[in-house]
Structure 1
Amino acid sequence: MTQMQPIEPQRLPVRVPLVTQPLGLWGSLKALRRNVLSILPELTVKQPMVSGRTGKRWHMIMDPEANRRVLLENLDNYPKSLVTKNMLKPAIGESLFIAEGAHWRWQRRAAAPVFSHRNVMNLAPVMSAAAERSVERVREAGPRAVDFLSEMVTLTFDVISDVTFSGDQGFDRDGVHNALDAYISEAAKISLADILGLPDWVPRLGRTFGTGGVRDMKRVADAAIEARAARGADGVPDLLDLLLAGEDPETKRKMKTSELRDNLLTFIVAGHETTALTLAWSLYLLAFDQNVQDRARAEALSVVQGGVAQGQDIARLPFVRQIVDEALRLYPPAGMLERTARTADTLCGREVRPGDTVILPIYALHRNELLWDDPDAFRPDRWAEKPDRYAYLPFGDGPRICIGASFAIQETVIVLATLLANFRFKAVKGRTPEPVMILTVRPEGGVWLEAEPL
């Protein structure tokens, strides 16, 4: 009788171990400051809703219909939490990301045309040029491993600064980048005061220490905005030109310098950090599965001319786009959204009281066994069919869906196709990244890959 060989378990890309026992107040604080995702109960990938109390009542929602209610049908009842606002307000003020109600609505109406399909497509050459410079840097690194997290951060910051303050020699890119990075690395950490729900006037020391660099950054941005307003647009309008020209069609209100600056800094933070992470995680997954990488490269080589993808190529790169969608599912940059209930409501048949914290744990939603087949596996082909809209929320949804989503997807596909058309990627042994969320889901330790030129 022939002995049966054991079937090897399917290899899965790296994931976060979820909690099987309550952490308690101090355990939660310690976990939150190390990795926000590490507080997620294992039940969040098995059930539609999980509730509890850690200082105050909270509910984690993984049900598409409940997500629809929070983000769309009963939007005004679920403003962003004070914790979220207190973290970011010193850096980005009352911008689109923070503002609520009428103040948010007029800004959104004024800014929406900036990210029209036509305007975003006009910026594609900037993305292609940055991708080409990245190829040159990787080639110059020679036959050694490259940290593609660092490389993608450099690339995407080049893009966002070029499409925001193009040609402005007085704009200190490195100064702005370093100030934002330093502030977010400390200010985005949860404090005990946050968990206990203490008023926002109670100091959070980490957020106080990082404000000096932020003040300097704002002065630089204000000077660049005022100089551009005096000089006027030149050539293809960039984001600053478009925002300067923008106005609320209902009230005819335009943004003043401080409002322009806060929104531009929001676009800089969101527009380079999240895209860099999506690219880094996509490259990690391609190195993890060589068969998928080969298929994606074959598609890229059949479309991309001269080794650099262009805006018009995107529609002919469906499999590359599926890889991006799958990377955003497995490692959503915004791994968790937090809201505070203003009035009583019912979600998944459960009572929500005024003041309760309502959490949309996007990381767990995207891996929930009730919604996804083989949820921890890297399977780009699953995107041949679209999921329930509120089961997949890498950019949020409803009226407050990320205004730059189409910009981010366009940039990611252009860069990924360009890299695939030039290199073959292999993982470096012993350098597996760990998904860690402070403000965004970053690959801690970097994404170290060997890039073999074709």
Structure 2
Amino acid sequence: MAEGSRQHPLLLYVAAGAFLSFIVYTRLNLYLARRRIIKENGCKPCPYVYNKDPFLGLDVLFENIKRAKAHTFLEATLDRLNSFGTNKVNTFHTKLINYPVILTIEPENVKTILSLKFKDYSFGNRQKGFAPLLGHGIFNSDGERWANSRHLLRPNFAREQVADLSMLERHFRFLIKAVPKDGSTIDLQDLFFRMTIDTATEFLFNHSTESLRMVGHPEDDSNEDTQFAKAFQFAQADAMVSIRFGPLNGLRNHKQGDEAIRICHEYVDKWVDEAVRYREAQDVEKAAGAGKEERYVFIHELAKQTKDKKRIREELINILLAGRDTTASLLSNMFNMISRKPEIWQKLREEVEGLNGRTPSYEELRNFKYLKWCMNESLRLHPVVPGNSRLAIRDTVLPRGGGPDGTFPLFVSKGTLIAYSQYATHRRQDFFGADAEEYRPERWEHLRPGWEYLPFNGGPRICLGQQYALTEAGYVTVRMVQQFQKLECRDQGPWFESLTLTCASKNGALVGLTPAAA
């Protein structure tokens, strides 16, 4: 017994020593491997750190929450970049609870993250925050699942689908009916969000929410289509709050957000069930030799490619988010800015005069240069997706951000969150001029930007629906310009952000409109 007792602690010491040796060995190997990467790439450390709390970064978390409530969350990034004194800083370190964070507004870094070293990064915890609403659709998945989603959806954004302007015109006529003709104040942002959910649901489900029909009819505001539109808006805002709270999100009350998501899912599931039944019936008819040529319907095409109802629902909600919010946000921000500069409205009217009042074709829309400049400038000054992030899933390197002047490569350890701000990058004077804070469409006459201008993401994940969004925004703008000879601003305050998963105007687009002479 005594001999056995002596051997027992000895074995424990040996095991503990072996375990400690393993830890030291792996740590040493990791250290040497990282030193090798740093040396081979000429990396230098970034000396700029934005944190008063170096342990948990709670100061940044609470500041983010405070700035979000004040509708100045986007400006916080600019303030942080400018907080390092006279140095021009485009990359800095910070910490957010359990994540080391690098924030950058260097186009070469963004190009590296989104394209050149695409496989070195994932979405990280962002997926968890968005998953209750978006599931694992194209905007909230990585790797093979994302590749499959893109392959599934890409054919549905062919030009012949995107260029269906007759559908846009039908909904635009309801928008026009809701605009007062006596020049009294109207919030166009509300109408734009109604129109884009109406067109997006018709494009996706073959059934429109027709929320524009409800303008002025509050007694009809409780139908399931309207309730879905409201729930969809709330669910997005709640998802964004989840992301900002990060690891502390579990402390929030999720009851209202969960109910909004339930409404959204039940609404979409109804159309998914109908589409799957339709496809099954079509398959039976074709097998019997009685098939006929079908009109294109997005949801029917998805049901043709997969019968997984949950998968169809997730992809539809992801595309609905992009189809509705990006276009409405673009229109709202643009009209907010244009209403402050009457000369821009006049130039747009002159550009479309050649149509003589008729609706434009798809090719004509694409050829209106000044219209394109106006949309580009809005997407520059107020990008609809104003910031994003990626999580490093292996040790890697960014080409810029190291050293006091930020011109050297910067080592990025596995587990680091890289945040990048299009909002701040699009305001860099070295790219867009000394008046980069001003809305001036004419700057696009000679601008040919690269990765410093990123309104629709870039690399393999570049937005599939950007032509859909630009076509609808351009069409609505042309038709508004044809219908109204004068656009007046009724909002004398500065622009403030309204952030959900996209960025609109907090004050909307308050304007007065004078109808054009018949």
The TM-score with structure 1 as length reference comes to: 0.85
Q: 1:336 maps to which residue?
A: 387
2:260 to 193, 213, 219: 213
Question: Residue 338 of structure 1: CA displacement?
Answer: 1.4
Are 2:452 and 1:415 aligned? no
Question: Residue 235 of structure 1: CA displacement?
Answer: 5.5
Q: What are the equivalent positions in structure 2 for 1:45-124 lying under 5 Å apart?
A: 46-55=88-97, 56-82=99-125, 84-121=126-163, 123-124=164-165
Q: Distance in 1 between matches of 2:123 and 2:420?
A: 11
Encode CA deviations 1:273-309: one digit per residue, 9 max, x unaligned: 1111100111112111111211111112323643x44
- Structure 2: stretches of 5+ with no match in the other structure: 1-49, 53-58, 83-87, 211-222, 283-292, 401-408
Are 2:181 and 1:129 aligned? no
Are 2:411 and 1:360 aligned? no
Encode CA deviations 1:133-182: one digit per residue, 9 max, x unaligned: 21222146x43100011011111111101111224799942232122112
Change beyond 3 A, Cα 1:192–1:134: closer
Instruction: Check conservation: 1:58, 1:358, Cα contact below 8 A.
Output: yes
Q: Distance in 1 between matches of 2:356 and 2:395?
A: 54
Q: Which amino acid aligns with 2:67?
A: A
2:275 to 204, 223, 228: 228
Between 432-441 and 346-355, the greater mean CA deviation after superposition: 432-441
Question: Residue 363 of structure 1: CA displacement?
Answer: 0.3
Q: Distance in 2 between matches of 1:159 and 1:168?
A: 7
SS of 1:53 mapped into structure 2? strand
Q: Distance in 2 between matches of 1:21 and 1:452?
A: 51
Q: Distance in 1 between matches of 2:508 and 2:304?
A: 40
Are 2:321 and 1:321 aligned? no
Q: Distance in 1 between matches of 2:386 and 2:483?
A: 31
Length, aligned pairs only? 419
Q: Which amino acid aligns with 2:301?
A: L
Are 2:186 and 1:146 aligned? yes
Instruction: Check conservation: 2:120, 2:393, Cα contact below 8 A.
Output: yes
Are 2:202 and 1:162 aligned? yes
Q: 2:74 maps to which residue?
A: 37
Encode CA deviations 1:33-52: one digit per residue, 9 max, x unaligned: 54431431436485432322
Q: Distance in 2 between matches of 1:337 and 1:191?
A: 11
Instruction: Check conservation: 1:79, 1:340, Cα contact below 8 A.
Output: yes
The structure number with the bigger radius of gyration is 2
Encode CA deviations 1:416-446: one digit per residue, 9 max, x unaligned: 1110111121101545541233432221122
- Structure 1: stretches of 5+ with no match in the other structure: 1-19, 247-253
The TM-score with structure 2 as length reference comes to: 0.75
Between 399-408 and 378-387, the greater mean CA deviation after superposition: 378-387
Change beyond 3 A, Cα 1:299–1:181: same
Higher RCO structure, 1 or 2 (CA under 8 Å, sep 6+): 1
Between 47-56 and 337-346, the greater mean CA deviation after superposition: 47-56
Are 2:411 and 1:351 aligned? yes
Q: 1:4 maps to which residue?
A: none
Q: 2:30 maps to which residue?
A: none
Instruction: Check conservation: 2:196, 2:328, Cα contact below 8 A.
Output: yes
Encode CA deviations 1:326-381: one digit per residue, 9 max, x unaligned: 10000011111011111222221122121111111110011112322121121212
Encode CA deviations 1:107-149: one digit per residue, 9 max, x unaligned: 111111111122211x322122222321222146x43100011
Q: Which has the higher helix share?
A: 2
Between 34-43 and 175-184, the greater mean CA deviation after superposition: 34-43
Change beyond 3 A, Cα 1:430–1:376: closer
Change beyond 3 A, Cα 1:117–1:168: closer
Encode CA deviations 1:394-419: one digit per residue, 9 max, x unaligned: 11011111111110011110001110
SS of 1:97 mapped into structure 2? helix
